Amino acid sequence: MEKERILEVKDLRISFRTQQGILKAVRGINFELFKGETLAIVGESGSGKSVTSRAIMGISAGNSIHEGGSIYYYNSGIKSFHQVEDSEHAEEEDIIDLMKIDEEHFHKLRGTKISMIFQDPMSSLNPIMKIGKQVSEALYLKLGLSKSEAKVRAIELMNDVGISEPEKRFYQYPFQFSGGMIQRMVIAIALANNAEILICDEPTTALDVTIQAQILELINKKKTERNLSIIFITHDLGVVANMADRVAVMYAGKIVEVGTVDEIFYNPKHPYTWALLSAIPDLDSKETLFAIPGTPPDLHFPPAGDAFAPRNKYAMQIDFEEEPPMFKISETHYAATWLLHPDAPKVEMPSNLKNRIERNLKKARKGA
C-alpha cells in the first residue's frame, strides 16, 4: 500500500540575523512525513533540528530569515488562499505551503492540526494557572465547546494520559505535579484537538530513565490509537531506536543520512552516523569509545564541501571542496557522503561499531 504523504519539506533554508552576522541554521533540507509514522531527527545541539520543527509550527524566532524552500502540508482540509501556485491541481489536491500562509490561516492549523511538545515540561505550562484551566482553554478556544463541556472533556483527556484522580488534579497548579506528570499534561493539551501531526522536541531529555520510558510508551500508544504522524527530535539514539520508523540524521543544518530505523542502526553509511553510534557505550561495550574530535562548525561561516569533513578521518580531498549530493542506497535509504560515489575508495565502518551491530543482529535473529 502506498503510504499517504502528509508533510513534505523541500529545500528549506532558514538563517538568523545575529550580532556576528548571518547564521545559516538550516541549509537546504528535504524530507517527507507519512501518515501514521514517526520520523526521528537526530543531531547534536546547533544542528538545526529545533529550527526546522519550529518552522513547521510557524513559531520561528523574530530574527529568522526564510531564505527559500517550502513546507507542503497535504490534505489539511482547510481552504486557503495561499495554496501552492506552481502546482496545477492545487485546488483539488489541497496543498498548503506553510512557509507562505499568513498568521491568520496558521491559527487554524496550529494546535488543531499540528501540535508540539517542548523539552522542558516545567516551563511549558503557566505556573499561576490551574492545570484544568490550561487543558480546557485549548478546548473552548479552538473547538468552541462550552466551559462545562470542556471540563468534562478535559477530565477525560487527563484520564486518558494516565493522571490519577483527574477530578482533584483539575484544580491543582503545575508546581503540585512531578516532571513526568506535567509532561503527560502537556501531551494531553497537545492532543486535545485531535491534531494529525505531533512534533516532539526532546520531550524526555529533562526526565529520568524510568519516567522517560513511561512517556515514550504513552506517546507510542497515542500514535497507534490516533494514527498520528510524529516528528521526534532528540539526540539520544536509544530513544530513537525505540520510537522511530524512519530516522534523519542532521549535521550543521543539513540532513546527512536518512533511512528506516533498521537501515540507520544496522547499516549506517555516513561517517557522522558511524561516529554518533560508536560514541555512546551500550551495555556490552568494553573497548575505548570513539570520540569525535573537534567541535561542530560555526554556521556564521558554513564550510565549503562536507561540513563534517574537518572532524572526519575518512575525509577525502573532494570533501573539503564540494558538497556531496544525496546518494541512494535503497528505496528508503539515502546518505550524503562522497564515500558512496562509485569512484571513491571502499571504506568500512569502524570495527568496534561493526562488531556491535553484528552482536545486536545476532540477538535479534535469536529472539525472532
Partner 1 sequence: MEKLLEVKHLKQYFKAGSGKRKLFVKAVDDISFDIYKGEVFGMVGESGCGKTTTGRSIIKLYDATDGEVYFGGKRIGGGIASMIETIKAAKVKAAKEIVGYQPAKLAKAQIIQEAEAQLAQIDPKDIEHVQIVKREKAQKMADLKAKIQADPTKFADNQAEIDKIKAELRTLINVERNKITALKKDNAFRGETLETMKKIQMIFQDPISSLNPRMTVREIIAEGLVVSGVKDRKYIDERVSHFLRVVGLLPEHAFRYPHEFSGGQRQRIGIARALIVEPELLIADEPISALDVSIRAQVINLLKNLQKEYNLTIMFIAHDLSVVKYFSDRIAVMYYGHMVELASSELLFRHPLHQYTKSLLSAIPLPDPHYEKTRKRFTYNPACHNYSATNKPSFVEIEPGHWIMASPSEIEQFKVEMAQSDKDFFEKLTEK
Which residue lies nearer to partner 1 by CB, 150 or 307? Answer: 307
**Cell match 569512484: residue?**
343
Q: Could you say which of 143, 145, 213, 344 contacts partner 1 (CB under 8 A)?
A: 213
Which residue lies nearer to partner 1 by CB, 61 or 280? Answer: 280
Q: Could you say which of 242, 258, 307, 334 contacts partner 1 (CB under 8 A)?
A: 242
Q: Is 94 in the site for partner 1 (CB under 8 A)?
A: no
Q: Is 126 in the site for partner 1 (CB under 8 A)?
A: no
Which residue lies nearer to partner 1 by CB, 188 or 237? Answer: 237
Which residue lies nearer to partner 1 by CB, 241 or 318? Answer: 241
Kindly state the smallest distance separating residue 126's Cβ from partner 1, in Å.
23
β-strand pairing of 38-42 with 229-234: parallel
Which residue lies nearer to partner 1 by CB, 159 or 285? Answer: 285
Q: Is 87 in the site for partner 1 (CB under 8 A)?
A: no
- The piece of 124-132, 147-155, 241-249, 323-331 that touches partner 1 (CB under 8 A) is 241-249
Which residue lies nearer to partner 1 by CB, 43 or 111? Answer: 43
CA 168 to CA 248: how far, in whole Å?
A: 42
Contacts of 115 (CB under 8 A, 6+ apart): 190, 191, 193, 195, 197, 198, 199
CA 28 to CA 272: how far, in whole Å?
A: 18
Which residue lies nearer to partner 1 by CB, 116 or 243? Answer: 243
Which residue lies nearer to partner 1 by CB, 164 or 210? Answer: 210
Which residue lies nearer to partner 1 by CB, 172 or 285? Answer: 285
Contacts of 238 (CB under 8 A, 6+ apart): 280
Q: Could you say which of 98, 240, 339, 340 contacts partner 1 (CB under 8 A)?
A: 240
259 half-sphere exposure, CB direction, 13 A CA radius: 23
CA 308 to CA 322: how far, in whole Å?
A: 12
Which residue lies nearer to partner 1 by CB, 43 or 69? Answer: 43
Burial class (CB in 10 A: 0-12, 13-18, 19+), 5: middle
Kindly state the smallest distance separating residue 280's Cβ from partner 1, in Å.
6
CA 67 to CA 50: how far, in whole Å?
A: 17
Residues numbered 252 to 311 that lie near partner 1 (CB under 8 A) are: 261-262, 265-266, 275-277, 279-283, 285-286, 288-293, 295-296
Q: Is 120 in the site for partner 1 (CB under 8 A)?
A: no
Residues numbered 137 to 166 that lie near partner 1 (CB under 8 A) are: none
Residues numbered 37 to 66 that lie near partner 1 (CB under 8 A) are: 44-45
Count of Cβ atoms closer than 10 Å to residue 69 Cβ: 18
By the 8 A CB rule, do 13 and 67 touch?
Answer: yes
Q: Is 259 strand, coil or helix?
A: strand
- The piece of 29-37, 80-88, 107-115, 202-210 that touches partner 1 (CB under 8 A) is 202-210
By the 8 A CB rule, do 252 and 27 touch?
Answer: yes
Q: Is 77 in the site for partner 1 (CB under 8 A)?
A: no
Q: Is 210 in the site for partner 1 (CB under 8 A)?
A: yes
Single out the residue of 35, 189, 175, 13 nearest to residue 112, CA to CA.
189
74, containing H or E segment: strand 64-74
Kindly state the smallest distance separating residue 80's Cβ from partner 1, in Å.
38
CA 113 to CA 77: how far, in whole Å?
A: 10
Kindly state the smallest distance separating residue 180's Cβ from partner 1, in Å.
10
Q: Could you say which of 23, 239, 335, 349 contacts partner 1 (CB under 8 A)?
A: 239
By the 8 A CB rule, do 12 and 55 touch?
Answer: yes
Residues for the chain: how many in total? Answer: 368
Cell (9 digits) for 73: 502540508
11, containing H or E segment: strand 5-18
List residues binding partner 1 (CB under 8 A): 44-45, 208-213, 217, 235-242, 244, 261-262, 265-266, 275-277, 279-283, 285-286, 288-293, 295-296, 360-361, 363-364, 367-368
